[in-house]
Amino acid sequence: MSDIAAMTYTKNERRLVAWSAIFGFGLDFYNLIIFSFLFGAVLSSLHITLPQAGIVVSMTLASSVVGGILIGWLGDKIGRKNALLGTLFLLAAGAILSALAWNFTSLLIFRIIAGIGVGGEWGAGIVLLNEVWDNRRRGLGSSVVQASAAGGVALASIVAAYSLTHYSPDTAWRISVAVGGLPLPAHTTELLALPDEIRPDLLQQAIGGEALKPAVNGRCRAEALR
């Protein structure tokens, strides 16, 4: 990826991508870790065994690997932004549906959906960040995104502790899990604010010439960046 592509985004758009990546990765870890604080409540509520709970957690992690590979490949085909929007939908759907689970099988299926979204969000988000961010600060940007994982873990512990203290176990774990999907509509709105196409005026300013203006006019950003 060249620096020209990064300069076709405005400063505000690059900041938006950075904050989206930070927020998204923190939320990824929230969704991955939240069940570790809720095992007792989930087991008693759904009448599942500890080995079954272990299967749910293991399959969530395994599906995140599949999601990372699948969404990474998809991002090369349809663009990072569109791939990232798809992962956010999966993550939100998986988290909210998990809160509505009624037995082991339903919980397992919904957590697999959430896991695919978690893995895909990290891959699509960090690649988009590195494509549009200033190459002199990409190391710092990636490090900050990685550090947001600690924020997600901290938030999960706070939400779980509060819910278990103020609600019945059945209600507490469902609220805590659903929280992992509720902020995503706002995150999606942020991503939709990003343009889909390269703007010839910004590209022209970046390279200091007219030659590429006809070539990029009307082409989607994802296609031009490949």
Q: Which of 13-17, 70-74, 209-213 has the highest mean pLDDT?
A: 70-74
Q: Assess whether 84 and 98 both reside in one domain.
A: yes
Is 75 a domain residue? Answer: yes
Tell me the C-alpha distance between 22 and 44, whole Å.
34
**How many C-beta atoms lie closer than 10 Å to residue 115's C-beta?**
29
Q: Given this model, what pLDDT does residue 7 score? A: 54
Dump pLDDT digits (tens) for 185-211.
Answer: 766 666 666 665 444 445 455 555 444
Which burial class, exposed, middle or buried, applies to 193 when counting CB atoms under 10 A from its CB (0-12, 13-18, 19+)? exposed
Asked whether residue 106 is assigned to any structural domain, the reply reads yes
Whether 125 shows a pLDDT value over 50: the answer reads yes
Same domain, 42 and 113: yes
The percent of residues in the chain predicted with pLDDT above 90, rounded, is 38
Q: What is the domain extent for residue 218?
A: 197-226
Q: Are residues 53 and 127 located together in one domain of the fold?
A: yes
- 189 and 218 housed in the same domain: no
Considering the domain boundaries, does residue 4 fall inside one?
no
Whether 63 and 155 map to the same domain: the answer is yes
* Length of the chain as a residue count: 226
Q: Do both 188 and 218 map to the same domain?
A: no
> Is 17 inside a domain boundary?
yes
Amino acid (1-letter code) at residue 173: W
> Is there a domain that residue 2 lies in?
no
User: How many independent structural domains does the chain possess?
Assistant: 2
Is residue 27 located within the same domain as residue 96? yes
Is 18 inside a domain boundary? yes
Q: Quick one: how many helices (H) and strands (E) in the chain?
A: 12, 0
